[in-house]
């Protein structure tokens, strides 16, 4: 049986739904003709309008960032100090586009020396709240500050002794009122023609997050060496590596006295665990006096030179043309190889002591020169 009250509720729902649909349709009828007239039908005209719109969108977002730079206040300093003094991590969360911006902010924090994770508020309400610990800093992102799932998470996380910070466009929103620190980006006019798609607001959030991460990085005294330690992969990581990170230490290099017979040198090099085709010839006090290259020996054979395997290796070695510091960047080593056209360069420590070799192949792999 259907009761009158139920009928009333159903009727209201239908009426409200129909009203919303009609409003949307009216909105579409208002916007679509304008957009069609704006872009026209000729392809060259369409391209010109698209180009101008692109420039206008970028200018609008740039102007929003200028406004944000004037709006930002000492509350970002307060949040930075909380992060620096915390023994916990920065837990970044948001819903929808704000969550995606939060992932980028969290990644920037982690890459610059601040431990950080992202946490989906919905997953947190179903068990992942256990990822939050005492002393953490919760950084919640929401332009409106009223996302229902996010607010449920904020209410739940308040049971922990944590700092709650918010990046929002509404300083009087539920999120802002629940936070210990608020970074207010202010009201933002979105760049899309409908004024609905998160664009300007997400750009402002990302910029605020970048500023926070970099201020904290600078306060930590985070150096190039620290950055390289966290970025060992890819071209960026290689460019920040030091020679000592890639060199072959003495224990990995075949070492010979100058009077060692060539036959023994070749036999020992064949047995070495790393067959990089080279060996160091050392004199008194372990000073390097020459480099032996199997490739160079092979070139002599190709030219018809008869080898005497009983001769000392010093007859076939090349004097080291240069040496490089263990602290030098790989880019500097790459320049050595490019200028001198050599295959191996000795590495010295601060006391000018020979401590290893670095090879052209290792330095130039991954297009370090480029």
CATH 3.90.470.20: does it fit domain 71-222?
Answer: no
Q: With CA atoms as reference, report the closest residue to 85 among 219, 237, 256.
A: 219
pLDDT-wise least confident of 87-101, 106-120, 284-298: 284-298
pLDDT in tens, 209-244: 999 999 999 999 998 878 877 887 766 777 778 888
- Residues of the chain with pLDDT > 90, as a percent, come to 53
pLDDT at 133 over 60: yes
The answer to whether the CB of 209 falls within 8 A of the CB of 105 is yes
Pairing of strands 324-325, 116-118: unpaired
pLDDT in tens, 53-76: 999 999 999 999 999 999 999 999
pLDDT-wise least confident of 7-21, 29-43, 314-328, 335-349: 7-21
pLDDT at res. 275: 56
The answer to whether the CB of 347 falls within 8 A of the CB of 354 is yes
pLDDT at 33 over 60: no
Q: How far apart (Å, rounded) are the C-alpha atoms in residues 15 and 171?
A: 34
Q: How many CB atoms lie within 10 A of CB 271?
A: 9
> Which carries the bigger pLDDT value, residue 183 or residue 47?
183
Average pLDDT over residues 30-40: 49
Q: With CA atoms as reference, report the closest residue to 248 among 283, 296, 285, 288.
A: 288
Q: How far apart (Å, rounded) are the C-alpha atoms in residues 280 and 257?
A: 9
Q: How many CB atoms lie within 10 A of CB 49?
A: 13
pLDDT at res. 343: 83
pLDDT in tens, 305-326: 888 889 999 888 888 878 899 9
If you ran DSSP here, which 8-state letter would residue 160 be given? S
pLDDT at 200 over 80: yes
Tokens of 348: 């010295």
Which segments of the chain does DSSP mark as H helices, in order?
4-39, 43-71, 75-85, 97-111, 121-124, 148-157, 174-178, 200-220, 224-230, 234-240, 243-246, 262-271, 294-302, 330-340, 360-364
Residue 40's pLDDT band (cuts 50, 70, 90): low
Q: How far apart (Å, rounded) are the C-alpha atoms in residues 93 and 120?
A: 6
Whole-model pTM?
0.69
pLDDT at 35 over 60: no
pLDDT at res. 242: 85
Q: Which fold has domain 239-364?
A: CBS-domain (3.10.580)
pLDDT-wise least confident of 51-55, 120-124, 134-138, 272-276: 272-276
> Which carries the bigger pLDDT value, residue 237 or residue 246?
246
Average pLDDT over residues 174-180: 97
pLDDT mean across residues, the chain: 85
Residue 2's pLDDT band (cuts 50, 70, 90): very low
pLDDT in tens, 270-280: 776 555 678 89
Q: With CA atoms as reference, report the closest residue to 257 among 294, 312, 308, 311.
A: 312
pLDDT at res. 114: 97
Average pLDDT over residues 69-93: 97
> Which carries the bigger pLDDT value, residue 211 or residue 34?
211
pLDDT at res. 217: 97
Q: In the chain, what are the domain boundaries?
A: 71-222, 239-364
| Partners of residue 318 on adjacent β-strands | 291
Residue 184, judged by CB atoms within 10 A of its CB (0-12, 13-18, 19+), counts as: buried
Q: How many CB atoms lie within 10 A of CB 21?
A: 10
pLDDT at 11 over 50: no
Q: How many CB atoms lie within 10 A of CB 181?
A: 20
> Cα separations (Å) of 207 from 10, 66, 68?
46, 11, 9
């Amino acid at each position: 049986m259907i009761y009158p009250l139920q009928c009333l509720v159903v009727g209201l729902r239908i009426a409200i739904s129909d009203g919303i649909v009609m409003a949307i349709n009216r909105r579409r009828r208002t916007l679509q003709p304008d957009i069609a007239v704006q872009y026209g039908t000729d392809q060259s005209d369409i391209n010109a309008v698209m180009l101008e719109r692109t420039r206008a969108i970028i200018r609008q977002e740039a102007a929003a960032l200028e406004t944000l730079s004037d709006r930002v206040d000492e509350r970002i300093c307060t949040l930075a100090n909380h992060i620096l003094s915390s023994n916990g991590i920065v837990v970044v969360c948001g819903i929808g586009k704000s969550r995606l911006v939060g992932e980028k902010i969290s990644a920037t924090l982690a890459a610059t020396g601040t431990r950080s994770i992202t946490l989906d508020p919905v997953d947190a309400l179903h068990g992942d709240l256990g990822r939050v610990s005492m002393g953490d800093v919760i950084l919640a992102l929401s332009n409106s500050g009223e996302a229902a799932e996010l607010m449920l998470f904020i209410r739940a996380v308040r049971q922990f002794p944590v700092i709650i910070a918010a990046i929002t466009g509404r300083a009087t929103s539920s999120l802002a009122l629940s936070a210990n620190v608020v970074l207010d980006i202010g009201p933002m006019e979105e760049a899309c023609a409908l004024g609905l798609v998160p664009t300007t607001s997400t750009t402002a959030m990302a910029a605020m997050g970048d500023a926070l991460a970099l201020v904290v990085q600078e306060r930590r005294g985070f150096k190039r060496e620290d950055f390289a330690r966290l970025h060992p992969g890819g071209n960026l990581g290689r460019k920040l590596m030091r020679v000592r990170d890639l060199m072959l230490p003495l224990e990995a290099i075949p070492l010979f006295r100058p009077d060692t017979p060539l036959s023994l040198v070749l036999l020992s090099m064949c047995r070495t665990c790393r067959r990089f085709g080279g060996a160091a010839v050392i004199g008194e006090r372990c000073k390097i006096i020459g480099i032996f290259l199997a490739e160079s020996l092979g070139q002599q054979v190709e030219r018809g030179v008869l080898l005497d395997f009983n001769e000392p290796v010093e007859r076939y070695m090349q004097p080291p043309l240069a040496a490089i510091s263990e602290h030098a960047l790989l880019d500097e080593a790459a320049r050595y190889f490019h200028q001198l056209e050599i295959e191996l360069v000795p590495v010295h420590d601060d006391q000018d002591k020979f401590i290893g070799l670095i090879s052209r192949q290792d330095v130039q792999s991954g297009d370090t020169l480029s």
